[in-house]
Amino acid sequence: MFSQTDIANNVVSWVNLGVKLPDELAAAIEIFNTVRWVEVGHRPRFDLREVTTENAEEKIREFALEIAVAGDPHQLGPTGLDNAKKHALDAAARGVNSKALSAIPVIIETLTPLFDAHVEAYSEAVSQLPEDLTADRLVASGADTVTAYHEAKHRAAALGRFHDWAISAASVSMIHPANTEKVLTLVRPTNISQLARLDEAAHLLNVDPVFHAIGPVYHSAVKHEIPFAINTPRQASQLRTGLETSGKLVRF
């Protein structure tokens, strides 16, 4: 499992989502970044040029205080400053992660209008593509189809960024990477048949690169009229469990 600092480093990237983060989370990230860049690697050095017959004892005492904090310059290993920064960074990371966990539903709500716009454009583009998409079929279908393909590819990449964020949110929720639901981050199948369609798309072998670039899971969702939605990590996991164990839709 990732350390608190590793998780917080992931959360820091949320500032690139293109939406305003909740104030408390933004403030926690700012503190974390400030602590992270505090320089503690320098070793104290005794400058004999500053010593006079009058201040020799004072300079030695000053140097002793530097050694007490920053460590003996002739010894390797973590210093008092190193340890202090490590503890401060861990505390700042925990602050970020707790605020991030609380912010996940708010961020999803904020992201949803942009997400829905990408889904709509993606669905429209996919509807214009031929079945069993390959490079040869794409070229043979004409210029309009090629244009639609590039639009679908562009929108799939955008949806991929929402997916990446949802996966990063799983670590904040303390869900082990091995247990993170990766297929249902952006879709909400309503029955076991739809879930099977999505799983099939997610595990296709020898996929043509042209088809892979538009996202087989998203393509399957459009073709089988499976709803799109940004799920929290726990929602995605509960959705799969509910459908697999009882065949019933989990409503959020």
Which class for 40: exposed (0-12), middle (13-18), buried (19 or more C-beta within 10 A)?
middle
* 43 within some domain: no
* 42 within some domain: no
218 and 193 belong to one structural domain: yes
pTM of the entire predicted model: 0.80
Q: Distance of CA 239 to CAs 180, 181, 192, Å? A: 12, 10, 10
Residue with structure tokens 């065949």?
247
Region of poorest pLDDT, from 49-53, 147-151, 178-182, 215-219: 49-53
64-87 pLDDT, tens per residue?
777 776 655 556 656 667 778 888
Residues 175 and 21: their CA atoms lie apart, in Å, by 22
92 and 150 belong to one structural domain: yes
Residues 107 and 16: their CA atoms lie apart, in Å, by 12
Closest-CA residue to 174 (of 93, 249, 89, 233): 233
233-247 pLDDT, tens per residue?
999 999 999 998 876
C-alpha neighbours within 13 Å on the C-beta side of residue 26: 9
Mean pLDDT of 203-227: 95
174 and 196 belong to one structural domain: yes
Domain, as residue range, for 61:
48-78
115 and 203 belong to one structural domain: yes
- 189 CB-near residues (< 8 Å, 6+ apart): 195, 197, 198, 226, 227, 239, 243
53 and 9 belong to one structural domain: no
178-212 pLDDT, tens per residue?
889 999 999 999 999 999 999 999 999 888 999 99
Is pLDDT at 36 greater than 60 in this prediction? yes
Residue with structure tokens 């952006």?
186
137 and 191 belong to one structural domain: yes
Q: Distance of CA 131 to CAs 114, 206, 211, 221, 224, Å? A: 28, 17, 10, 14, 13
